[in-house]
Copies of this chain bind each other. A is one copy, B any other.
Amino acid sequence: LAELLSGLLDLSSRGDKALARQLTDKLRALITDGRLKSGERLPSSRTLARTLAISRNTVVQAIGQLESEGYLTISRSRRPVVGDSVASADAFTSGADARKRSPAFRLSPWAQHLGDAAWPPVYRGRPRAFQPGFADEREFPRHIWGRCLRQAAHRVRRHPRQGPNDPDLQQVLLKHLAVHRGVRAEPRQIMILPSAQAGLALVAKVLIRTGDVAWMESPGYGGAFAALRAAGATVCGLAVDRDGLKLAERRQAPRIIFVTPSHQYPTGCLMPISRRLDLLQFSNRTGAAIIEDDYDSEFHYDGRPVAALAGLDPSARVFYVGTFSKVMMADIRIGYLIVPEALVDAFELAQRHIGLLADMTMQAALAEFIERGAYRSHIRRMTRLYRSRRDRLVEALASEAGRHLSFDIPAGGMQLLARCKGAIDDVKLSLQLQAAGVITRPLSEMLYHRSSQRGLFLGFGAWNEAEIDAGARILGAHVRRS
């Protein structure tokens, strides 16, 4: 009892409820740290209450709680007894020390090799010129977006929706894609997902059996490689030429072909109609599914954007992937996937089984944002802005590093691929640039076939002209030196 009391005497009295909670915690601690041992019998609640000068009710509450947790049992004499095997708890409760002891984990083969992948590149600190993949968030109409969000949050629905995808968003998004990307589908074919990457992973998961072959462009998008690998595919990179992915006769037919026909990632080239039709015919003949990633295709500077594959043949095995994060801001993590009509039910189930749900308030706010025309007008405004930034970058690169870098002027998107004219180590160059405050992505890290291509991939959308000029000067100085 002395032991017990010394552990309990410093109960501070701040109202009965707080007291019961304190008493519970103290008693539990006495048990877990071994001062009260298995089988030990506590005084009756009456005795405890009197000795501690607190109400008996408080003691009864605490003992009841510890009984429900299994720390105490009540003996026939109505006195609490410390439960069996709880003394061993001290093995687990050495606090901060214990946290250091880290158990060994056997990971899945996939997880074991996650660290080897060159994707995603991780940069510390804030994004800087020319880190690819970012929209200029400074230009985003936050006031309109905030209103859409609040409106969506306030809309009191009697009960939540049952499905994972908001029909309103499906409807307005499809309308937008039909007009601007030539997509033909029914609204219910659109799955709303936490990211475009989730869309790639989901298609792969639904279609790939371990060991199936998938084709992707090389150089190409590392995220596609990652998603296909996650599903167990053997990924082959096929070289791209000026018209994008070049089909090849290979020993093993692919189950999935990943392409970025609108402007190839990262080269920016456009796949012409003849090759698109070849691709669709190949898919028809072999049964291969096509993932069309329509990555940042909303921004087109020279002429109108070319219609999507998903519009050429609505009956084809085309899975169309897009995202809001490039158009609006990186923080908006909602992507979408259009699946063939025959697979809508399977994909909705797959979404639920692996938890790929997008927030409903966010979906409603996006529907409102599109419906109001704010989405379209933001795209229009950004297209003008990004075009002028593209021109600025092209000019700055030509003057700072024109003798060492060659590039095509991208007809759309937010990125430019500058190829090295000599045999430059682009990984080393990129690291030097990073140390100097300029972020670039080396082309050699985007290759998925044997190739000596070298270059730097530069994002120009998120930086203003002064930032572009400053970045280009640093870049030029390093390129000239290497």
Residues on A lying within 8 angstroms of B by beta carbon are 21, 24, 61, 64-65, 68-71, 83-86, 88-89, 92-93, 95, 98-111, 114-115, 117, 120, 122-127, 134, 137-138, 142-143, 145-147, 149-150, 153-154, 156-162, 184-186, 193-201, 205-210, 226-227, 229-231, 243, 255, 270-278, 280-281, 284, 287, 289, 302-304, 306-307, 312-317, 329-335, 340-343, 345-346, 349-350, 352-362, 411, 462
Contact = CB atoms under 8 A, between A and B. Distances in A.
A115 B349 contact: yes
23 contacts: A21-B304, A68-B411, A69-B270, A70-B275, A83-B274, A89-B312, A95-B184, A99-B186, A103-B317, A105-B289, A106-B207, A110-B205, A111-B205, A111-B346, A127-B159, A137-B156, A146-B149, A194-B356, A331-B359, A332-B359, A355-B356, A356-B356, A358-B359
Contacts of A197: 352-355, 357
B342 A105 contact: yes
Contacts of A355: 193-201, 227, 335, 356
Nearest to A88: B277
Given A69-B273, A201-B353, 18 more contacts: A21-B304, A65-B304, A68-B306, A70-B273, A103-B340, A108-B207, A108-B208, A111-B205, A122-B162, A134-B159, A142-B156, A145-B153, A195-B355, A197-B353, A226-B353, A333-B357, A335-B355, A362-B362
A384 B289 CA distance: 53
A122 to B, nearest CB: 7
A124 B162 contact: yes
Given A126-B158, A193-B355, A210-B210, A108 B315 contact: no
A374 to B, nearest CB: 13
Given A108-B209, A358-B194, A352 B120 contact: yes
How many copies of this chain?
A: 2
Nearest to A125: B162
Contacts of A357: 194-195, 197-198, 333
A24 B350 CA distance: 40
A361 B334 CA distance: 11
Contacts of A160: 127, 134, 137, 329-331
A457 to B, nearest CB: 18
Contact of A137 (B122, B157, B289, B335): B157
A354 B198 contact: yes
A303 to B, nearest CB: 4
B84 A274 contact: yes
A92 B313 contact: yes
Centre residue among A89, A280, A354 by max chain B CB count within 10 A: A354
A95 B24 CA distance: 71
Nearest to A64: B303
A273 B83 contact: yes
Given A88-B281, A273-B89, A354 B105 contact: no
A397 to B, nearest CB: 22
Contacts of A230: 205, 353-354
Contacts of A126: 158-159, 162
A108 B289 contact: no
Contacts of A359: 194, 331-334, 358-359, 362
A61 B137 contact: no
Contacts of A104: 287
A79 B226 CA distance: 46
A416 to B, nearest CB: 18
Nearest to A71: B273
